[in-house]
Amino acid sequence: MSCTAFNDALVLNRVGHEAMSDLLPRIPGNYIAKALQTLPPAERAAAGGIMECFVNVPDLGRVRITARRMKHKRGRSTHYFWSAESVVKARESQ
């Protein structure tokens, strides 16, 4: 597994939503969680940051998971976390 940061969130977001279709619901949660754990802590990432991780999933092969940094506020406490946004099949050269 590896992860890569992106600067252009708008282009990746547009591409990710078109490419996602029905692949994200087909991936078991433990593979998504395993991939998101390879990302750096969300507290230190840029606001609205987007990163991607690669993970091997049985029956699908290698996939690229695009994650967005999210924020949850409750009272005076704030929690930052990564949320899987889209999934596409990775090319063999990656």
- 3-class secondary-structure state, position 59: coil
pLDDT digits (tens, 9 = 90+) for 37-54: 999 999 988 887 899 999
The verdict on pTM exceeding 0.85 is no
Token pair 């994650």 in the structure block, residue: 67
Residue 11: CB atoms within 10 A of its CB come to: 11
The tokens of 79 are what? 């929690």
> What pLDDT score was predicted for residue 91?
79
CB 12 within 8 A of CB 50: yes
pLDDT below 50 — which residues of the chain? Answer: 1-20
